[in-house]
């Protein structure tokens, strides 16, 4: 574990140590760097030269430089004095079926902002692309379990879509260009995600429902747990 401590009033960030026999490197995340257009996804950075506004993959190195390991998390620096990072997601959790480069941080922001405005409470959710093979436009399909539903699901979905378009210019371009239609929300029944995780033997421990999938495997399974 490389988390040593965080502000007692801030559970979203953590301070880190660089004097324990290991070194942490930072590589521009392939997904997020596409928004900036300035990194090829292979350049790594040391503590003192990390640029702002990027999500990074965390690379653990021993201080002799003989090996390195990508732990799979993505983070953003929120402070350089002291070094403080915020976990923004997982490298393998993204949607780019249409070139939109959507990451976990963006969907969480979009959903939670709409939920706060509408007085809704979210138990769990995941997002996957739905690619239309025949007539009609493709779209992002959101599977959401509510503890407290919004008054109007259609209006709620529109707000989530607007929020995501504000966070991700590529997704916005696809909507404006009529390549994608706005997202669709499907309601998962109470305890539906728990029941699904039980069915695949992944309930509890370190197992979590991925926020994003670039395929339909999870989405297809969750169709059996809808209201």
Look at residue 113 and tell me if it is in a domain: yes
Question: Which domain does 103 fall in, by range?
Answer: 94-225
Domain count, the chain: 2
Phi/psi of residue 138, each to 5°? -75, 165
Phi/psi of residue 101, each to 5°? 55, 45
| pTM score, whole prediction | 0.70
Instruction: Indicate if 62 and 121 belong to the same structural domain.
Output: no
State which of 33, 61, 89 marks the end of a domain. Answer: 89
Instruction: Indicate if 59 and 117 belong to the same structural domain.
Output: no
State which of 72, 89, 106 marks the end of a domain. Answer: 89
Look at residue 51 and tell me if it is in a domain: yes
**pLDDT in single tens digits along all 227 residues of the chain:** 444 344 444 444 444 444 454 445 545 444 444 333 333 345 566 666 676 666 676 767 666 666 666 666 677 777 777 777 766 666 666 788 898 989 888 999 999 999 999 999 999 999 999 998 777 789 999 999 999 999 999 999 999 999 999 999 999 999 999 999 999 999 999 999 999 999 999 988 788 898 999 999 999 999 999 99
State which of 73, 89, 105 marks the end of a domain. Answer: 89
Instruction: Indicate if 84 and 104 belong to the same structural domain.
Output: no
């Amino acid at each position: 574990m490389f988390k040593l401590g965080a502000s007692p009033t801030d559970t979203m960030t953590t301070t880190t140590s660089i004097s324990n026999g290991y070194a942490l490197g930072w590589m521009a995340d392939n997904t997020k760097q596409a928004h900036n257009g300035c990194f090829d996804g292979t350049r790594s950075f040391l503590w003192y030269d990390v640029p702002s506004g990027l999500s990074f993959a965390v690379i653990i190195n021993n201080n002799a430089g003989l090996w390195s390991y990508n732990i799979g998390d993505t983070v953003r620096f929120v402070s350089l004095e002291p070094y403080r990072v915020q976990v923004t997601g997982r490298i393998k959790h993204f949607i780019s079926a249409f070139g939109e480069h959507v990451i976990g941080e963006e969907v969480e922001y979009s959903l939670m902002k709409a939920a706060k405005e509408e007085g809704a409470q979210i138990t769990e959710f995941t997002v996957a692309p739905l690619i239309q093979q025949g007539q009609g436009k493709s779209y992002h399909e959101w599977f959401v379990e509510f503890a407290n539903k919004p008054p109007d699901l259609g209006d709620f979905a529109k707000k989530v879509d607007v929020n995501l378009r504000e966070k991700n210019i590529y997704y916005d371009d696809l909507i404006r260009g009529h390549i994608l239609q706005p997202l669709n929300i499907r309601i998962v029944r109470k305890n539906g995600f728990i029941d699904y995780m039980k069915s695949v033997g992944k309930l509890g421990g370190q197992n979590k429902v991925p926020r994003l999938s670039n395929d339909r495997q999870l989405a297809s399974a969750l169709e059996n747990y809808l209201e």
